[in-house]
Amino acid sequence: MTMPDKEPRVIVALDFPSAGPALDLVSALDPALCRLKVGKEMFTRFGPAFVEKLAGKGFDVFLDLKFHDIPNTVAAACVAAADLGVWMINLHASGGRRMMETARERLDGAARRPLLVAVTILTSLTREDIAEVGFRGAPRENVLRLARLARGSGMDGIVCSPREAADVRPEVGADFLLVTPGVRPARAALDDQQRVMTPADAIAGGADFLVIGRPITAAADPLQSLRDIREEIAQQVRHSPTAL
């Protein structure tokens, strides 16, 4: 994989129950300063037309639908997502090597090729939760195993918690993307996130892209909040040559 442009590194999570406020927010933002993430709620309500509208405004869109199904179905869904003109899509690494490899092959043959990243273990799951569905060991061990499997199956990177990034980075090497939600600027409210890190710490830990929602979307001045976060990231990048 040729490494994609890392700038802009902030991916704003658009989690709104209606399209109007989401589009109002988007008109206050700038594709040169951030990317956008559309997840299951907005996609299920507003569909492909909403995604195409965002892409039409010049934004790179991460379509966060976390596919997990038989290989042929996931590969076909990935190609359908690519046809929307999105920048990044994702699937569950626990769908297995054949599912990931089939998606990889089918996307490589498609006219458009979005970045394809894998979810390892959802950060909402505890050791007890994963034991109940048959995974042995701590979430961290499973994250590392699935990160290696994702890499070996041709994925461009994984989504992981910023706290996991520093553990994962040495396992997967430099040219593998780490996309981290669970990021909060030092003075921001935690909302329902528990295990958070600041943007600077996430970058220092090896994250490439940061998914940030409410600290921007719920701010009185979203653009200013984005600019503040970008400044914090830029300072850290200057101090960590490996983050370039």
Min separation Cβ 108 and ligand C5P, Å: 26
Nearest to 161 by CA among 178, 144, 147: 178
Min separation Cβ 164 and ligand C5P, Å: 10
- Do residues 119 and 158 make contact, with C-beta atoms less than 8 angstroms apart? yes
Query: From CA 38, how far away is CA 11, in angstroms rounded?
Result: 10
- Do residues 166 and 196 make contact, with C-beta atoms less than 8 angstroms apart? no
Nearest to 170 by CA among 178, 180, 179: 178
Question: Within 13 A of 89's CA, how many CA atoms are on the CB side?
Answer: 26
> For ligand C5P, which is the closer residue by CB, 106 or 169?
169
> For ligand C5P, which is the closer residue by CB, 99 or 229?
229
Query: From CA 140, how far away is CA 45, in angstroms rounded?
Result: 34
Clarify whether 40 is annotated catalytic.
Answer: no
Question: Which residues are 119's β-sheet partners?
Answer: 92, 159
The catalytic residue among 37, 53, 57, 66 is 66
- What residues from 167 to 186 belong to the interface with ligand C5P (CB under 6 A)? 181-182
> For ligand C5P, which is the closer residue by CB, 122 or 219?
122
Min separation Cβ 225 and ligand C5P, Å: 11
User: How many residues sit close enough to ligand C5P to count as binding (CB under 6 A)?
Assistant: 13
Q: Give yes or no for residue 123 binding ligand C5P (CB under 6 A).
A: yes
Min separation Cβ 110 and ligand C5P, Å: 25
Helix (H, G, I), strand (E, B) or coil at 89: strand
Using CB under 6 A, pick the residue from 22, 29, 117, 211 that binds ligand C5P.
211
Task: Give the H/E segment covering residue 54.
Answer: helix 40-56
Residue 121 in tokens: 């273990």
Min separation Cβ 150 and ligand C5P, Å: 15
- What residues from 212 to 241 belong to the interface with ligand C5P (CB under 6 A)? 212-214
Residue 190-209 contact track with ligand C5P, rule CB under 6 A, x = bound: -x-x----------------
Residue 116 in tokens: 């394809």
Residue 3 in tokens: 């490494």
- What residues from 10 to 29 belong to the interface with ligand C5P (CB under 6 A)? 13, 15
Residues in contact with ligand C5P by CB under 6 A are 13, 15, 39, 122-123, 181-182, 191, 193, 211-214
Active site residues: 66
